[in-house]
């Protein structure tokens, strides 16, 4: 198969992935919308013992009534098709993941290099990493409640790549013809996928109310986000170090305060602050989630904004 034909197949795989991710998102959304509601407040109050007498007796009795009411509503069985919609969405998600992978592989074969030498290829790979992080996590624990939000993120990301960032298959600038692409950029892609999963969970944490909700408890959302960041932070650290080593090989210095380098470091500091605050200051809940989302914003600007809006040595986005 010729290089041009492989490039066309890659583009078709991307379009297939967009459609499959979109249908998967709809299935997850249906399961979430018609599944069983949960009460975050009731779950917390259920752990508080009720004392006899005292000023707090009335409040605690109200809490107990709230717990009983929530339990009664949680006991209502959802429609029989709701869980099936979630399973179908998961299957579609895996099919979309396969199409996304096919797009990356055929693009690499078409250009005869690692297929993330421009912003289009990079964003396609980031979407693949985010979906991979979700699907692998789903194997270990039930996180289907994140499916609709991860899939819409991947759908919008691929759509943005196709409509705004698309670059025809071809050679890259000399600085990118290096084995360091396989080391530095791959590490950045893998860690970014996990950071996106954590970011989605963090946003849902802030959105979730205290009453009945289709979303899981805030504790579960925070747990998913924290575990994803604990896994991804060392990989991002490695990516920053590998980038410095590559810079020395390509430009003769480890650090030059290029905008991409600066924002990669800012992102590292922000996530380090989140982890440090949890370990030393005991930050939990809303405060820790806000710090995490600030770091997530830094990550998104570093991944996309710097390449598009700021000139520097990393300005090879090739945006048409």
Lowest mean pLDDT among 93-102, 168-177, 212-221, 265-274: 168-177
Give the count of domains, the chain.
1
| Token pair for 12 | 């078709």
Residues 142/156, Cβ–Cβ less than 8 Å: no
Residues 228/274, Cβ–Cβ less than 8 Å: no
Residues 130-176 pLDDT 10s? 999 999 999 988 888 899 999 999 999 999 999 988 988 877 776 66
Residues 20/99, Cβ–Cβ less than 8 Å: yes
Distance, CA of 315 to CA of 296 (rounded, Å) = 22
Tell me the β-bridge partners of 212: 39
Q: Evaluate whether residue 201 is within a structural domain.
A: yes
Distance, CA of 208 to CA of 180 (rounded, Å) = 42
What global pTM score does this model have?
0.82
Residues 270-283 pLDDT 10s? 999 999 988 887 78
What is the separation, in whole angstroms, between the first and last Cα of the chain?
A: 27
Q: Which of 6, 209, 244, 252 has the alpha carbon at shortest distance from 115? A: 6
- Count Cβ atoms below 10 Å from residue 119 Cβ, excluding itself: 23
Structural domain for 152, as ranges = 3-309
- Count Cβ atoms below 10 Å from residue 68 Cβ, excluding itself: 12
| Token pair for 183 | 């080391």
Instruction: Locate the DSSP E strands across the chain.
Output: 38-39, 212-213
């Amino acid at each position: 198969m010729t290089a041009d034909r492989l490039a066309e197949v890659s583009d078709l795989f991307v379009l297939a992935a967009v459609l499959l991710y979109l249908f998967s998102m709809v299935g997850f959304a249906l399961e979430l919308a018609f599944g069983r509601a949960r009460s975050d407040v009731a779950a917390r109050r259920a752990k508080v013992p009720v004392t006899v007498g005292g000023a707090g007796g009335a409040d605690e009795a109200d809490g107990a009534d709230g717990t009983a009411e929530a339990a009664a509503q949680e006991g209502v069985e959802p429609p029989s098709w709701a869980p099936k919609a979630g399973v179908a969405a998961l299957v579609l998600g895996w099919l979309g993941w396969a199409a996304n992978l096919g797009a990356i592989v055929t693009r690499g074969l078409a250009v005869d290099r690692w297929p993330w030498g421009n912003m289009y290829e990079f964003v396609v790979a980031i979407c693949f990493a985010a979906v991979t992080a979700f699907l692998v996590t789903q194997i270990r624990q039930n996180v289907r409640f994140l499916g609709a939000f991860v899939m819409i993120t991947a759908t919008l990301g691929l759509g943005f790549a196709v409509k705004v960032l698309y670059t025809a298959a071809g050679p890259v600038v000399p600085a990118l013809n290096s084995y360091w692409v396989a080391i530095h950029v791959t590490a950045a892609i893998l860690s970014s996928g996990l950071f996106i999963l954590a970011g989605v969970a963090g946003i849902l944490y802030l959105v979730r109310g205290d009453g009945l909700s289709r979303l899981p408890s805030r504790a579960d959302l925070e747990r998913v986000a924290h575990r994803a960041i604990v896994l991804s932070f060392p990989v991002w650290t490695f990516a920053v170090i590998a980038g410095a080593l590559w810079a020395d090989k390509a430009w003769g210095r480890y650090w030059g305060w290029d905008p991409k380098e600066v924002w990669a470091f800012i992102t590292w500091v922000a996530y380090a602050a989140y982890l440090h605050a949890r370990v030393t200051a005991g930050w939990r809940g809303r405060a820790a989630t806000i710090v995490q989302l600030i770091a997530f914003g830094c990550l998104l600007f570093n991944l996309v904004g710097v390449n598009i809006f700021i000139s520097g040595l990393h300005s090879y986005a090739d945006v048409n």
